[in-house]
Chain A
Amino acid sequence: MAVIGLAYIFLRNLFAVVMLSGMFSLTAAVLYVVMDAVDVAFTEAAVGAGIATVLGLATLGLIGVVNEKPSKRSFLGPFLVVLVTGAVLINATLDMPDFGDPNAPIHHHVAPRYIEDSGREVGVPNIVTSILASYRGYDTLGEVTVIFTAACGVLVLLGRTRRRKPHGQETGDRETASGDGEAAK
């Protein structure tokens, strides 16, 4: 996965970047299955490899730009910031519990109650669904509201389609966008 991420930095062609993002999400979904997180893998594969790629391609079609322009800024500054932040984070991970350790603190407070009592209290085999819908139902309500708001936001930003006008009245930008969008398909 790190290889795909590095390719992001060096590629110029935006179409390839969108495709790579789909590959990245799919690889992450496989990783989640190996980690026993089946619900999360399902969602990541559907959303990351499906919707994100489709939306990225639709955006590229709309803006008509296919290649990134070379940047004139030096890369040293951000690179140093990244190195320092990475070193600090790795220093912080030295205290963390080992991978897969069943005695890690994360497994001790609320999770055992959910695992043991979910069958009795909610009666649904899938513990993730029972937590999502019943024990933490409030959070899921907030999440559905966020999705609703995002759809409303896109409606407001892009929803007003320009009515058919004679060509002479269109602004210059509009022409290039639709013209290049056709060519970029």
Chain B
Amino acid sequence: MAFAGLYNYWIVVVLMMIGFYVVIAQGNLVKKIFGLNIFQVSVFVLYITMSKVDGGTAPILDDRYQVYSNPLPHVLILTAIVVGIATMALGLALVVRIREAYGTIEEEEIEQQEGELP
């Protein structure tokens, strides 16, 4: 009974941990940015699943329905998605610049090149 009601949170935690692992463990910069994307989507899923009401419908006013799902998290997530894409665009621009400056996008090789300089 506890499991059936809580499984949506556990899925979110699993997704979040996968994204977290990609960000901290993989050395490739492009993969890290897309791993961050997974992390963000998992947080959005958390909010959206919390906003659902049993038997509710989409929050658009209509005479046929009385129960609506909570619209407030939808608004927050809408903003968050757009801000997420903005940071991703900036991150990818930085990756292009890093590649031009260091010649590589693997974190280990960048650290090696940094280590060689005094």
* Chain A residues near B (Cβ < 8 Å): 1-2, 5-6, 8-9, 14, 17-18, 21, 24-25, 28, 31-32, 35-40, 43-44, 47-48, 51-52, 55-56, 59-60, 62-63, 65, 68-69, 71-73, 75, 78-79, 81-83, 85-86, 89-90, 93-94, 96-102, 104, 106-107, 110-111, 114-115, 118-119, 125-128, 131-132, 136, 139-140, 143, 146-147, 149-150, 153-154, 157-158, 173-174, 176-177
Contact = CB atoms under 8 A, between A and B. Distances in A.
A59 B96 contact: yes
Contact of A8 (B22, B81, B106): B22
A100 B99 contact: no
Majority DSSP secondary structure for residues of B touching A: helix
B24 A71 contact: no
A31 B50 CA distance: 13
Interface size class of B (residues with CB under 8 A): 35 or more
A115 B68 contact: yes
6 residue pairs, one from A and one from B, having the closest CB atoms: A98-B5, A150-B86, A78-B25, A100-B54, A5-B18, A93-B9
